[in-house]
Amino acid sequence: MAGRSMFSSFLVLVLVIVLSPALKADLVQDTPFQVDLNGQGFGKILEILTLHMDTTESGKVVWTGSADAITGCLLGGGAAADCVGPTDTGADPSKTATRTFSEIGWLGAEDIRIILDANQTGVNPTVDLHTLIMRFYAPDGTQLGGDVFHIAAPMDITEAQGQGNAGFVFKLTPGQVALANAAAFGVNYDPNNRVGLEAIIGDVNDGADTFYAFDANIVPEPAAYLVLLAGLSGVVYLVKRHRQSA
């Protein structure tokens, strides 16, 4: 029995090693993918990265342990084409900044949701999301988990035009939830752990495109509404039955 148990553990370890490259394709579309941001009651959603450039826009924000390091073509950069360098402080800190887990409300990786609010008002409403990488940082700036939390491949996104009209929601796959929990939550959890993003978007023509972070628990899933409706129906039935028997 002991030998069989050791063999089973070894087999699991081999499968993890073999399959680990595939697990890196982990930021996936939530269901529903596209949501109407107007009147959704998302509550506390925080901007992490706002890109602003024609044709192709890119940028990232990382935590150094004492401050954010920002590079790319970002809203509020104040320079030509709104592009800022590592030492440029012109980027609007309310639009591009790492955020602590406590600010967002994340207690586990299953809580993680990232929204892209695309804002293209020109003739082409479709953008190409080339890259989206999510990084976790300890308070001292140590990166937790590496660069394994990202989309698998570029994707075309067609959005309802105008800021705030449409958001596209991303979450981690179940396998990556386990990896993220091991890296940045669980025994490594600190409310001051931070999240930063890096993104590249192509086929853009005008408005700023913003990535937000929020806690999945603050927005009821459709299934939760069904359970609530069923529960209310049961209560109504019991009340009617009680009145009839009284």
Q: Are strands 55-63 and 194-204 parallel, antiparallel or unpaired?
A: antiparallel
Quote the CA–CA distance of 20 and 246 in Å, as a whole number.
64
pLDDT of residue 246: 62
pLDDT of residue 167: 78
Higher-pLDDT residue of 206, 46: 46
pLDDT of residue 30: 78
pLDDT of residue 117: 84
Is the pTM above the cut of 0.95?
no
Burial of 133: CB neighbours in 10 Å, binned 0-12, 13-18, 19+: middle
pLDDT of residue 153: 82
Residue 118's alpha-carbon distances to 56, 64, 160, 162, 235, in angstroms, are: 13, 28, 8, 8, 42
Percent of the chain with pLDDT over 70: 58
pLDDT tens across 62-113, in order? 999 999 998 886 655 444 444 544 444 455 667 889 999 999 999 999 999 9
> Would you list the DSSP string of 183-244?
HHSGGG--TT-EEEEEEEEEEE-SS-EEEEEEEGGGS--HHHHHHHHHHHHHHHHHHHHHHH
Cα 211 versus chain centre, distance: 8
pLDDT of residue 70: 87
Provide the residue ranges of all domains of the chain, joining segments of one domain with +. Answer: 22-245
pLDDT of residue 51: 84
pLDDT of residue 227: 45
pLDDT tens across 186-243, in order? 999 999 999 999 999 888 776 678 899 989 887 544 444 344 445 555 555 565 565 6
Per-residue tokens: 4: 């069989």
Q: At what angle do helices 174-184 and 2-23 cross, to 10 degrees?
A: 100
Q: Please, which pLDDT band fits residue 168 given cuts at 50, 70 and 90?
A: confident
Report yes or no: 119 and 210 within 8 Å, Cβ to Cβ: yes
Whether 33 shows a pLDDT value over 80: the answer reads: no
Whether 21 shows a pLDDT value over 50: the answer reads: no
Report yes or no: 127 and 202 within 8 Å, Cβ to Cβ: yes
Please give the angle made by the CA atoms of 115, 117 and 119, to the nearest 5 degrees: 165
pLDDT tens across 119-167, in order? 776 666 678 889 999 999 999 999 999 888 998 888 887 765 444 556 7
What is the gyration radius of the CA atoms in the chain, in angstroms?
22
Quote the CA–CA distance of 218 and 246 in Å, as a whole number.
41
